[in-house]
Amino acid sequence: MKNFRKKIIWYSFLVLAPALLLTTLFGYYNFKKSEEKSFKQAERDASIYQRQMDQVIGETIKSLEVLAITFESYHNNISDVNIALNKVSGKDPRYGGIYFLSSNGEVITGTNDYLKQYSLKNKSYIKTMNLTHQSVVSDQVETLSNNNKVIAIVTPVIKKNVVQAMIVAHIRIDYIVNIFQMLTPNTFVQFESEQGVPIFSTNDKLSLNDYEKNNVTQSLERAPWKITIIPKDLNFRSVLKYTFIFFLIVTTMIHVIYLFFHSLSIKKQAERERIQNDKQKLELIGTLAASTAHEIRNPLTGIKGLVQLLAEKYNNPKDQFYFSILNKEINRINQIVNEFLILGKPTVQKMEKIHLDQVMYDLNPLIRSEANLFNVHYSFHIRSESILVLATNDQLKQVILNITKNALESMSTEGKLTITLEEKNNEALLTISDSGKGISSHDLQKIFTPFFTSKENGTGLGLVVCKRIVESFNGKISIHSEFNKGTTVFISLPMYKG
């Protein structure tokens, strides 16, 4: 139960926590990105609305100024003035009405009767126009008697630098709103005075929170107005959708990485357990060997002596054949006992300086003789002279002879055995290569496991003994092999530098 809780904690820490953290960061980034996109879209819309509104106001002022220039000559001819006003108003749906006023702001005539007998002289835009003698746009919405909401634009009729009359045009608010709703439906646009007082908007159903948002403001060029746009609300469903998809992807990726490293950890743990088991096996073998080696050798010596006596007594060829088999098996038992002793608890060895090149020269005739018996081509190369190592002479020879024997037994006739000795990176490197049947990748992982053998009569201790001996000399042994292509054994020993 405790181990299960520990796994849950590690799983939460290594998988769930990073996935949730990355998802939170992505969700926040996605939210900010969407918010920024919405704000930039609002900026683009504000620029469009500003140009569109300036165009509407500019066109209206231009029309009124043309009328004003026309009325300079016959502003007293009310009939002609009325015809001109109706002609301009009838062609454009933007107008809620166009009116001709006297110099003191009294309505003289117009395209409708909404301002009949109505004085505009107290309107702020009339006063501003009288002071500037220029067209002025009102910053307040007016409601006509037909309940139409309009914005007024006034243009003076000037003659000899004196205001003779004035023309007032009412721009319908619903006309402006329709234009903006066709451009971008469902977008809130509010027009304000320079002081920030609202004039009119495209949507009157907004909450207080909408006004507290980070809005976009753009000033008009043809009127003392500002356009305020509230960015569209974010599509939280879309943000959550992409965030959830990201969570699934990230969680899957982290799971894959977690399972990959978890499998590596399991493999390493299995490898450590295997090595530990091998050590325990060797320790068990050592304990067994130390306690039983001499007890086994003593009866073996007696048995071997009796066999020799019987062999001298019975000269029958058939009996001699049986005696030879007995001697061979006794020697084999003795060899296994010797290997057990080497695999046992290490004892203090008398290390000595050994010329490894001289050892190879001593073993060369013996190896060549064995190679001739197996009908194998043998070649030997020494690329460095006077290679000194610290080792035990007999055990070093045992390693070399054991490996060359395995190499010869793995080859059929006309095989090739090559031994190379060289100094490389302050190490003595002995390479034994054969062209035999090789070792499968599956068996290659087990060759240094005690009692593992691919031979019918093998003990599975030969290579284990070789590895134990080489490692006792602070050296390394490794094997590279390909099935049906041959095997190469690398033995490296540290050079003795005195």
pTM above 0.85, yes or no: no
Residue 196 pLDDT more than 70?
yes
Whichever domain contains 114, its CATH number is 3.30.450.20
Residue 267 maps to a domain: yes
| Of 30-44, 219-233, 328-342, 392-406, the least confident | 328-342
- Say whether both 169 and 295 belong to one domain: no
Residue 331 maps to a domain: yes
What's the pLDDT tens digit per position in 307-320? 777 777 787 877 78
What are residue 461's phi and psi, to 5 degrees?
Answer: -115, -10
Domain boundary (149, 167, 186) is at: 186
- Say whether both 310 and 385 belong to one domain: no
Residue 232 pLDDT more than 80?
no
Going from the C-alpha of 420 to that of each of 64, 343, 432, the distances in angstroms are 109, 28, 7
The mean predicted confidence, pLDDT, of the chain is 82
Residue 432 pLDDT more than 90?
yes
E strands present in 178-320? 188-193, 198-201, 216-219, 225-230
- Say whether both 156 and 99 belong to one domain: yes
What's the pLDDT tens digit per position in 453-477? 777 666 677 788 888 888 888 899 9
Residue 323 maps to a domain: yes
pLDDT at position 467: 87
Going from the C-alpha of 109 to that of each of 118, 150, 394, the distances in angstroms are 11, 18, 133
- Say whether both 142 and 283 belong to one domain: no
pLDDT at position 98: 92
Residue 335: CA count within 13 A, CB half-sphere: 14
pLDDT at position 207: 47
Residue 224 maps to a domain: no
- Mean pLDDT for the stretch of residues 219-238: 81
| Of 142-156, 162-176, 309-323, 335-349, the least confident | 335-349
Who contacts 234 (Cβ-Cβ below 8 Å, separation ≥6)?
A: 31, 34, 35, 38
- Say whether both 149 and 272 belong to one domain: no
The number of distinct structural domains making up the chain is 3
Residue 208 pLDDT more than 50?
no
Whichever domain contains 275, its CATH number is 1.10.287
Give dist(CA 378, CA 419) in Å, integer.
8
Give the domain extent around 334.
257-343
Amino acid present at 451? F
What's the pLDDT tens digit per position in 266-291? 888 888 887 788 777 767 766 766 66
Give dist(CA 213, CA 38) in Å, integer.
12
- Say whether both 329 and 377 belong to one domain: no
Domain boundary (320, 343, 366) is at: 343
Residue 197 maps to a domain: no
pLDDT at position 108: 86
Is residue 225 within 8 A of residue 192, CB to CB? The reply is yes
Range with the largest mean pLDDT of 164-168, 277-281, 494-498: 164-168
| Of 36-40, 293-297, 340-344, the least confident | 340-344
- Say whether both 155 and 268 belong to one domain: no
Residue 211 maps to a domain: no
List residues bridging with 419 in a β-sheet: 380, 432
Residue 204 maps to a domain: no
- Say whether both 369 and 483 belong to one domain: yes
Q: Which two tokens stand for residue 149?
A: 């909401």
Work out the number of other CB atoms within 10 angstroms of the CB of residue 127. Answer: 13
Check residue 263 and report its DSSP letter: H
- Say whether both 369 and 323 belong to one domain: no
Q: What are the contacts of 455-461 at 24+ separation with CB within 8 A?
A: 455/409, 459/336, 459/339, 461/336, 461/339, 461/340, 461/343
| Of 222-231, 427-436, 445-454, the least confident | 445-454
Domain boundary (135, 169, 186) is at: 186
pLDDT band at 296 (very low <50, low <70, confident <90, very high): confident
Q: Which residue has the tokens 């050798």?
A: 297
What's the pLDDT tens digit per position in 89-130? 887 888 988 999 888 888 888 888 887 666 788 888 888 898
pLDDT band at 369 (very low <50, low <70, confident <90, very high): confident
- Say whether both 68 and 181 belong to one domain: yes
- Say whether both 71 and 43 belong to one domain: yes
Pairing between β-strand 162-172 and β-strand 149-159 as defined by DSSP bridges:
antiparallel
- Say whether both 283 and 371 belong to one domain: no
Pairing between β-strand 162-172 and β-strand 95-102 as defined by DSSP bridges:
antiparallel
What's the pLDDT tens digit per position in 408-419? 888 877 789 999
Residue 18 maps to a domain: yes
